[in-house]
Structure 1
């Protein structure tokens, strides 16, 4: 996967129509081969986990396929921490060497979140 090396930044985070990208300004994200996800801004470092999983029993949020490939992100933080918003089993919209685009449609209220990482 394109996350094997380098650092990434959140270039866009839209939470139910609200642009919350600035919550992650200055943070560099590293997706380790061992599933460790690190976010640091030079002062604060958060350590979480990431993985890619496949669930053939559900469908993508974008409706394009019967298989569901999820990009899972988890930071062990309180509910009021900005990084809690990133905790999800995101559907992968696209991945290349420089960009990861993820989407999540809430099962509760149908709201849509969109998260984009750009390689530094």
Structure 2
């Protein structure tokens, strides 16, 4: 009888120790903290004006639709594109996509979000997306988006003026 009690107590102690070792905030299970990288990308984008040097929409090169436009990514989240006679205003942000709500397979990627409130027929509507960042440097921001609908891949590159 003492043996059964002893093994029962040992089993309960074992389960107790195992459950205390498991924690919902283990480093292995938490998403990457991208806040430093996000701040760096924001600072880069906010420095100076930019131009689109490559825009491929589902295999079609549409870079010329934005020839002559300079883009300003402002610290208040506004985005202004102007070519001297036309100005198009929108918003932009850089966010941690830890919820995987877009089409990316990565759970910890960073999104470069662009939104221009324009009709679908406007060329700037094609830029509206939560773009995945391919690379950034002090002079280049390369973005990609893989469409969930038609499976097309879009590429967008900004270069500093």
- Scaled by the length of structure 1, what TM-score is found? 0.93
Larger RCO: 1 or 2 (CA < 8 Å, sep 6+): 1
8 A contact 1:49–1:73 mirrored in 2: yes
Greater helix share, structure number: 2
Q: What residue ranges of structure 1 are gaps of 5+ in the alignment?
A: none
Q: Are 2:112 and 1:68 aligned?
A: no
8 A contact 1:74–1:86 mirrored in 2: yes
Q: Are 2:53 and 1:11 aligned?
A: yes
Quote how far apart the aligned CAs of 1:6 are. Answer: 0.6
8 A contact 1:93–1:102 mirrored in 2: yes
Partner of 2:138: helix, strand, or coil? Answer: coil
Equivalent position of 1:77 in the other structure:
118
Instruction: Supply the RMSD in Å over aligned alpha carbons.
Output: 1.3
Query: After TM superposition, what 4+ stretches of structure 1 lie above 4 angstroms from structure 2?
Result: none
- Alignment deviations for residues 1-34 of structure 1 (CA, whole Å, 9 cap, x no partner): 3112210000000011110000000000000011
Partner of 1:72: helix, strand, or coil? Answer: strand
Q: What residue ranges of structure 2 are gaps of 5+ in the alignment?
A: 1-40
- Scaled by the length of structure 2, what TM-score is found? 0.70
Who wins on radius of gyration, i.e. which is larger? 2
Paired residues, number: 118
For the residues of structure 2 that align with 1:60 and 1:88, how far apart are their CA atoms? 11
8 A contact 1:54–1:69 mirrored in 2: yes
